[in-house]
Amino acid sequence: MRTKAFLIILLLAGVLVSLRPAPDGRIASVVIDPKATPITMYWADDSGKALGNIGRLKALVEAKGRRLRFAMNGGMYMEDLRPLGLYMENGRTVRKLITATKGYGNFYMQPNGVFSVANGTAAIFPTAKAGNLEATGCATQSGPMLVVNGAINPAFKPGSTNVHIRNGVGILTNGHAVFAISRVPVNLHDFALFFQQQGCANALFLDGAISKAFMPEQGLRQLDGMLGPLIAVVE
């Protein structure tokens, strides 16, 4: 009762009260409206050789007179840097969807899912609901889903000591995409909680430990590493 009365006093005094949790300072993020800012995916250079990291992507787009605004690794990959699961770029399927539900590593934790962008619309959905992706401009498959229909994946344990640098993507109710990477090692539950608190109905884990991001506004210019698929905004 006392708390309720205190809030009423603040509102009457013209003070804006926000009950939304403050962003987790351990995690850097950017929000992109795919209708206003095209989101693209890259894997290889013009010769078909895997780019391998954000630095090479930056050099590639700058050589064409363009500018890299944002980038992060966009899904898990194999030893030769080829995407592990579904990967589509400019409407072309590079790797087909993997429907197996059992296997080694985070990719196979259920449910896993797909992040896609088509005609200015970004979406995340479980692999089991992937359906027909022929009209998709670009897509990447990874796992596990962090948030499904607003709920944190029940496979994650609060307080888990399994911590790594992690990156992922979520979709807000207005259709905007939230891309995030942890600045310090975090567990999957805390990482998923970040997306849930931002208001994401669905969110997908992209990778961990090797994760890199180019977010100049957040002080991140991680151009090195050995990466597979890359998600980017280029102008």
195-222 confidence digits (pLDDT tens): 999 999 999 999 999 999 999 999 999 9
Residue 152 has pLDDT above 50, yes or no: yes
Residue 197 CB neighbour total at 10 angstroms = 13
Domain that holds residue 216: 23-234
Residue 23 has pLDDT above 90, yes or no: no
Integer angstrom CA distances of residue 142 from 8, 44, 58, 117, 220: 46, 19, 24, 15, 23
Q: Is residue 9 part of a domain?
A: no
Span of 14-28, 40-54, 72-86 with lowest mean pLDDT: 14-28
How big is the CA angle at 94 (ends 112 and 80), to the nearest 5 degrees?
A: 85
Residue 15 has pLDDT above 60, yes or no: no
pLDDT digits (tens, 9 = 90+) for 91-150: 999 999 999 999 988 999 999 999 999 999 999 999 999 877 766 799 999 999 999 999
**Residue 133: what pLDDT?**
76
Span of 5-9, 51-55, 95-99, 156-160 with lowest mean pLDDT: 5-9
Span of 21-30, 41-50, 152-161 with lowest mean pLDDT: 21-30
**What global pTM score does this model have?**
0.89
**Residue 132: what pLDDT?**
73
* Both tokens assigned to 25: 């300072």
Percent helix, percent strand, percent coil in the chain, to nearest 5:
15, 35, 45
Q: Is residue 110 part of a domain?
A: yes
**Once rounded to an integer, what is the mean pLDDT over residues 159-188?**
98
**Residue 38: what pLDDT?**
96
DSSP 150: T
Residue 16 has pLDDT above 80, yes or no: no
Q: Is residue 121 part of a domain?
A: yes
**Residue 17: what pLDDT?**
33
Alpha carbons 97 and 115: distance in angstroms, whole number: 12
Q: Is residue 167 part of a domain?
A: yes
Instruction: Please state the domain count of the chain.
Output: 1
**Once rounded to an integer, what is the mean pLDDT over residues 72-86?**
96
Residue 3 has pLDDT above 60, yes or no: no
Q: Is residue 29 part of a domain?
A: yes
**Pairs from 58-67 (Cβ < 8 Å, separation ≥ 24):** 58/214, 58/223, 61/232, 61/234, 66/234, 66/235, 67/234, 67/235
Alpha carbons 153 and 147: distance in angstroms, whole number: 6
Span of 99-108, 164-173, 174-183 with lowest mean pLDDT: 99-108
Q: Give the pairing of strands 68-73 and 230-234.
A: antiparallel
Q: Is residue 10 part of a domain?
A: no
String of DSSP letters for 178-205:
EEEEESS-B-HHHHHHHHHHHTEEEEEE
Residue 234 has pLDDT above 80, yes or no: yes
Q: Is residue 78 part of a domain?
A: yes
**Residue 202: what pLDDT?**
98
Q: Is residue 1 part of a domain?
A: no
